Amino acid sequence: MKFAYTIVYTADVNASLEFFERAFGLPRRFLHESGTYGEVETDSGTALAFASHEAAQNNLGQAYRRASDGAPLGMEIGLTTEDVAGAYVKAVAAGAQGLVEPVTKPWGQVVSYVRCPDGTLVELCSPMG
């Protein structure tokens, strides 16, 4: 088994792609001509993708909790950077809601949290090891 991708369901795939490009510097890999699916590039070898709520409903065949509904979902996307403070400021300037400003954890890692306009929870953290 190999981890392949994460898909974030969102109301506006293009807007989510644009936000991740602007806020986190992850370049767009592609946006399907239907506008219902797109991906950004990562350095990890896995894909970070976005799909429309309509596509999710068609795939799942049932209702689900959207990231934009109320409190953040009980999951996050983690992005590592050497400059957590700078990444936090950039993400907030791009439209993210700042949740937790950068703090150094007891094990030495610097961690912060933002919530994207589409509701996605993102941890910005320094690399471990």
Distance between CA 102 and CA 55 in Å, rounded?
A: 35
Residues whose CB falls within 8 Å of the CB of residue 60, separated by 6 or more in sequence, listed in order? none
Q: Which helix (H) or strand (E) holds 57?
A: helix 53-60
Model pTM score: 0.91
State the average pLDDT over residues 105-127: 96
Residue 2 has pLDDT above 90, yes or no: no
What are the pLDDT digits (tens) for 76-103?
999 999 999 999 999 999 999 999 999 9
CA distance 87 to 95: 12
Name all contacts of 109-115 with Cβ < 8 Å and 24+ positions apart.
110/84, 110/85, 111/84, 112/84, 112/85, 112/87, 112/88, 113/76, 114/23, 114/88, 115/72
- Select from 11, 16, 12, 10 the least CA-distant residue to 28: 16
For residues 61-74, average pLDDT: 88
pLDDT at 43: 82
The CATH code belonging to domain 5-125 is: 3.10.180.10
With residue 15 as reference, give the H or E element that holds it: helix 13-24
Kindly report, residue by residue over 6-54, the tens digit of the pLDDT.
999 999 999 999 999 999 999 999 999 999 999 999 887 788 999 999 9
pLDDT beyond 80 at 129: no
Residue 87: φ, ψ to 5°: -65, -40
